[in-house]
Amino acid sequence: MQYNDTVRSGGALWWLLHRISGLYLAVILFIHVLVLHVLTKEEITFDVIAERVSTPLWKTINISFLAVALAHGLYGLWVILDDYVHAGWARILIWGVIAVIALVFVVYGSLTMISFQYGG
């Protein structure tokens, strides 16, 4: 079956972005483990986490983590499916579903983070 040219994975820029996003995820995960499980001496409770998450810095970190994780993971999924799905209509459908999932989760997650308030 012939490949359809409409949508496809690959390209130098996408390959590079996938590596950079992977590196970013590794750094953020390291910071997460360091802050939460090494530097936090008190007992981890809802109050402790909520207070931290309500700060602008952590909101920014969490939103960027969500966006980069979704982009990295869903692009990886698309790269795998790209190998096996060759029919044009199916490729467009899968690409569309992946794009919608990414958009919905980024918007929903970002709104949740931005509107999150704790305490005073």
Partner 1 sequence: MAMITFRINRYNPDDERRGHYVQEYALDVCKGCTVLDALNQIKWEQDGSLTFRRSCRSGICGSCAMTIKGVNRLACETQVLALKSPNVTVEPMRGYPDIKDLVVSLDPLVRGLLAVRPYLITKTPPPSDQERLQSPEERARLDGLYECILCGACTSSCPSFWADKEYIGPHAFLKAYRFVADSRDEGSREHLEALDDKHGLWRCHTIFNCVEACPKDLNPTRAIGELKKELVRQRIG
In the complex, minimum distance from the CB of residue 13 to partner 1, in angstroms, rounded to a whole number: 6
**Per-residue tokens: 107:** 């918007």
15 binds partner 1 (CB under 8 A): yes
First to last CA, the chain: 62
CA-closest candidate to residue 20, choices 66, 67, 57, 72: 72
Smallest gap from Cβ 3 to partner 1, in A, equals: 5
Q: Closest CB to partner 1 among 88 and 109?
A: 88
8 scored as a contact of partner 1 (CB under 8 A)? yes
User: Least distance (Å) from partner 1 to the CB of residue 5?
Assistant: 7
The string of DSSP codes covering 13-51 is HHHHHHHHHHHHHHHHHHHHHIIIIII--S---HHHHHH
Query: Which of 41, 56, 57, 84 is close enough to bind partner 1 by CB under 8 A?
Result: 84
Cα angle 21, 24, 30 (rounded to 5 degrees) comes to 145
Q: Report if residue 89 touches partner 1, rule: CB under 8 A.
A: no
User: Residues interacting with partner 1, by CB under 8 A?
Assistant: 3, 5, 8-16, 79-80, 82-84, 86
